[in-house]
Each structure stands twice: as C-alpha cells, then as structure tokens.
Amino acid sequence: MVTTLLELEHVSKSFGSVRVIDDLSLRVEEGEALGVVGPNGAGKTTMMNLIGGSIPLDAGRVVFDGSDISRMAAHRRCRAGIARTHQIPEPFVGLTVFENVLVGVRFGRADAAPDPYLAAMEVLERARLADQPNVLAGSLTLLQRKRLELARALATEPRLLLLDEIAGGLIEAEVDELMETIRDLRSGGMTIVWIEHVVHALLSVVDRLVAIDFGRVLTEGVPAVVIASREVQAVYMGVEDE
C-alpha cells in the first residue's frame, strides 16, 4: 500500500512584493526519492525551508505523515522526522566530527538513543566518516564537510531527508563518491526530496522528478522524460524550440 509521507497543499510564500512560491502542491510517497530541478530563483530552496519550518508560509498547508505541521516550529519538525542539509555546509567548526554528530543524536531525535556514543559512531559509518571522528569540523575538505552535513541530518533519525544541492561544488570524482552513499540510503528505504543542479547525479538516484519555475510545478514524472521535455529544456537549460 502506497502511503503519502509529505504533502504540500496550495502553498504560497512571498518576500515583500515578490511571490517566490505560488500555489505549489506536491506529494511525496513514503520510501520515494523525489528530485527537484529548476532555474536559479525558481523557489526550490524556499520550498525546502517551508518544509523544514525555518520560514513561515503565507498560505496553504504542509502535511507530514497525516498531520498538519504548517505552524510547527523547525526543531519540532526535526524531532518529528524531517531533516535537511544545506547548500553550504554549516557544521560547528570548533567541534570534532564526532561531537557534531553527537549533538544531533542527543537533541534532534524524538526518542533518546540508548547509547548516544554508539549511535553517533553508527551514523558516521553510514556517512563514511568513521575514520575521522576526532578531526575538527573546521579543518575538513569540502567533500568531508558535505558528508558531515549529511551525517548531522542522519543523526536525528529522519523519516524524510531533504538534500539541498549536496553535490554542488564537488569535482566529478567526489560527486561519484557521494552518490554511492546516497544510493545506500535510498536502497535502505529512506524517503528523500533532493534539489540538485548536478543533473546526472540526481537522475542516477531519484524515482520521480519535478521541475518548478516561478514557484509552481512546471512538469513532473519519469526523470528521463521530464529532463528531456520541451518545458524543462527551455526554462532550465535555455534551449528554445525551433
């Protein structure tokens, strides 16, 4: 039986006179990996912020696991099972890799871990950082920071993982390494909503692709079909019809 885990119902958000999200409706099924593409300024990150609760919506509803969370604070959404990464990693640079993850284990979960230290090490294993627990976060390479950003999200035991351009800024070999980790999460049943400009990485993981523009859904469906559609080619890639 297919279960809807997340639903955006006619969501809108403006900043001043600029409508960034415009009557956006979207559904994510449990266990699905949904990719989101669109040009810069399309409203993708704002959509993530509305799901995560870091900014309030103006209209509509955000429904998670059957409950309206539209007015729920961000920290409560985290404990309810929604975790996200950011385009630019935001670790506690003065703490070690292990300490960064331990913060998520101790304060981001709905239920306390029986052994927080063991739980933190298990998360580092999943993020492939288990060999660097005592390294200061501020000294990590970009790929390592991306992995730590992912580990901090996983530390909260999310049911829904929001990835915001996690492959951005990496060289091709690093993207390939990171994709292996994300595929592992996907094969383990993690529900993912993923914004990404590194399109080939996105297409290698997601089940369904949504293209948005001016805060609205442009088209959605099978990833290869969506990315090849005239609408997406014109709006996202600047290819005009002849």
Q: Evaluate whether residue 77 is within a structural domain.
A: yes
Can you read off the two tokens belonging to residue 41?
A: 């300024």
User: Residue 27: which CATH number?
Assistant: 3.40.50.300
Q: How far is CA 233 from CA 20, 26, 204, 238, in A?
A: 21, 21, 19, 6
In the prediction, which pLDDT does 231 show? 87
Sheet holding 59-64, edge to edge: 18-29, 4-15, 59-64, 67-68
Last residue of a domain, one of 157, 188, 210: 157
- The answer to whether residues 168 and 149 belong to one domain is no
In the prediction, which pLDDT does 235 show? 80
The reply to whether the predicted model has a pTM over 0.85 is: yes
Render pLDDT for 228-237 as a digit per residue (tens, 0 to 9): 998 888 887 6
In the prediction, which pLDDT does 239 show? 57
- The answer to whether residues 74 and 1 belong to one domain is yes
Render pLDDT for 206-225 as a digit per residue (tens, 0 to 9): 999 999 999 999 999 999 99
Last residue of a domain, one of 142, 157, 172: 157
Is residue 145 a contact partner of residue 114, using CB atoms and an 8 Å limit?
no
Render pLDDT for 97-141 as a digit per residue (tens, 0 to 9): 999 999 999 999 999 999 999 999 999 999 999 999 999 999 999
In the prediction, which pLDDT does 242 show? 47
Q: Evaluate whether residue 86 is within a structural domain.
A: no
- The answer to whether residues 195 and 215 belong to one domain is yes
Q: Evaluate whether residue 136 is within a structural domain.
A: yes
Render pLDDT for 57-82 as a digit per residue (tens, 0 to 9): 999 999 999 999 999 999 999 999 99
Q: How many CB atoms lie within 10 A of CB 224?
A: 10
Percent pLDDT > 90 in the chain is: 92
- The answer to whether residues 47 and 124 belong to one domain is no
In the prediction, which pLDDT does 108 show? 96
In the prediction, which pLDDT does 234 show? 86
Task: State the Cα–Cα distance between residues 145 and 194, nearest whole angstrom.
Answer: 18
Q: Evaluate whether residue 186 is within a structural domain.
A: yes
- The answer to whether residues 125 and 214 belong to one domain is no
Q: How many domains does the chain have?
A: 2
For the segment 149-176, the average pLDDT, to the nearest whole number, is 96
The whole domain housing 214 covers 1-81+158-242
- The answer to whether residues 3 and 20 belong to one domain is yes
